[in-house]
Amino acid sequence: MKPTVVLVGRPNVGKSTLFNRLTKTRDALVADLPGLTRDRHYGHGRVGDKPYLVVDTGGFEPVVDSGIMHEMARQTLQAVDEADAVVFLVDARSGLTPQDKIIANQLRQGSRPVYLVVNKAEGMSRAMVVAEFYELGLGEPWSISGAHGEGVRELMDEVLEPFADEAPAEDPRHPKFAIIGRPNVGKSTLVNAILGEERVIAFDHPGTTRDSIYIDFEREGKPYTIIDTAGVRRRAKVNEAIEKFSVVKTLQAIEDANVAVLVLDASLDVSDQDATLAGFALEAGRALVVAVNKWDDCGEDQKLRIKHSIARKLHFLEFAKYHYISALKGQGVGELFKSIDQAYTAAMCKLATPKLTRALQVALERQSPPMIGLTRPKLRYAHQGGMNPPIVVIHGNALDKLPDSYTRYLEHSFRRIFKLEGTPLRVQYKSTDNPYTERAAPPKPTKGKPKPVRYGKKK
């Protein structure tokens, strides 16, 4: 079992910078703005000789009793309860603050070992930097620079020293799905409903989630990874630098996932932004499930209206399954999860070449390819060229002239024959080259005796 190391501290002391340093990634958003991180962010530690999990938390404001900062504090306290060791970060540039003292008193009451770390100490005398922090009564302070990596390796060796040296186990391939949608449609509430706990902050305010939060969990003994993403608005409305980074993180999460769950708000019509987001997931080749949330709050007229709106603006998602749910009350979440499993299975399926070729012949018998001039393209055999999405490669002659409508017909045929629900399917063509097209024409034979070759000037 890997030990869990939790990073705790007031806002803007460099927790996310240290998290990226320990995981050797750029998973956590970093900017010179307080309160950027809000949810718990997990990662695999790669600095040190032992495997461990590192958790980035939001800025700790223990005295706030309402609002988003109070929810962030609850998330931090929950992370501390799950921790095997706590790294308490303070700022060498700001010095000791009253808020640091409150956090230290709260951490001292727990049973987890606490390591006091003075961050942003690059270029400063260690003795002068740590002197005032002895007042916190948490033992010998460590001086480091999370941005430059100074003292980080020595710190982690000390933190991990009490734990057994275990070889990291290889993680098997497992489903990874991203919850995507516009702001305030209930994505974080849906994540908490699937997990069965308040794992991420669900707040009645648009833009609560700023980063893409990866959460590993098990359901009925099977491992999964769920990704809670930030809401994506129209580009014209994205002004803050933080929100621009959040949009990039959401698009990266879609690329990284196997299945995308598009969450819609049943109280609102489907917008162009919903269609754009679904189109991006489709272009990335991801399996897709649509969850229409807040269904219990709608009257019959609004339910009929949203269904018409979905049929009109999301007609290109004919392969996806639709679920009408209430994430807040947990209604329909179980059936939604079954569709996520089915979509993942379809996206990662392996199709045998003989079966694909027989399916191709069945499709050809039902509808032959159209004539192209005086010739008809010949489709000979098919094999699988990839997964997530499934790619079918068809070999034959003159396939580059097939119309898009016939390609769509083949995609629908393969999806129907192999019962691939919830995933797009792509058809690629590979035409056999004509060996005579590039060969030069043979010279024409001459009649009679060849003419003599004359040299010099003709008199």
Q: Is 231 flagged in the annotation as binding?
A: yes
Per the annotation, does 181 bind a ligand? yes
- Residue 206 assigned as binding residue: no
Residue 186 annotated as binding site: yes
Which helix or strand (DSSP H or E) is residue 227 part of?
strand 222-228
Reading phi first (left if > 0) and then psi (alpha if -120 to 50, else beta), residue 456 is in left
| Residue 293 known to bind ligand | yes
Q: Is 123 annotated as a binding residue?
A: no
Is 405 annotated for ligand binding? no
Ligand-binding annotation for 13, yes or no, is yes
401 is in an annotated binding site: no
Binding residue per annotation — 56? yes
Q: Say whether 426 counts as a known binding-site residue.
A: no
CA distance 385 to 428: 9
Phi, psi (deg, nearest 5) at residue 55: -125, 120
437 marked as part of a ligand binding site = no
Pairing of strands 287-293, 321-324: parallel
Residue 93 assigned to a binding site: no
Give DSSP secondary structure letters for 274-318.
Answer: HHHHHHHHHHTT-EEEEEEE-GGG--HHHHHHHHHHHHHH-TT-T
216 is an annotated ligand-binding site residue: no
Does 16 appear as a known binding residue? yes
**385 labeled binding residue:** no
59 among the known binding-site residues? yes
- Whether 146 has a binding-site annotation, put simply, is no
**Residue 196 CA to chain centroid, in angstroms?**
21
163 annotated to a ligand binding site: no
Whole-number Å distance between alpha carbons of 305 and 189: 24
Q: Is 10 annotated as a binding residue?
A: yes
Is 294 labelled as part of a ligand binding site?
A: yes
Sign of the alpha-carbon dihedral angle for 274, 198, 253, 12: positive
Q: Is 184 annotated as a binding residue?
A: yes
User: Distance from CA of residue 324 to its chain's centroid?
Assistant: 23
Residue 66: count other Cβ atoms within 10 Å of its Cβ: 7
Q: Are β-strands 378-386 and 391-397 bridged in parallel, bridged antiparallel, or unpaired?
A: antiparallel
Q: Is 368 known as a binding-site position?
A: no
Query: Is position 120 annotated in a ligand binding site?
Result: yes
Number of C-beta neighbours around residue 292 at 10 A: 23
Is 400 assigned a ligand-binding role in the annotation? no
Q: Which residues sit in the known binding site?
A: 9-16, 56-60, 119-122, 181-188, 228-232, 293-296
Q: Which residues sit in the known binding site for GTP?
A: 9-16, 56-60, 119-122, 181-188, 228-232, 293-296
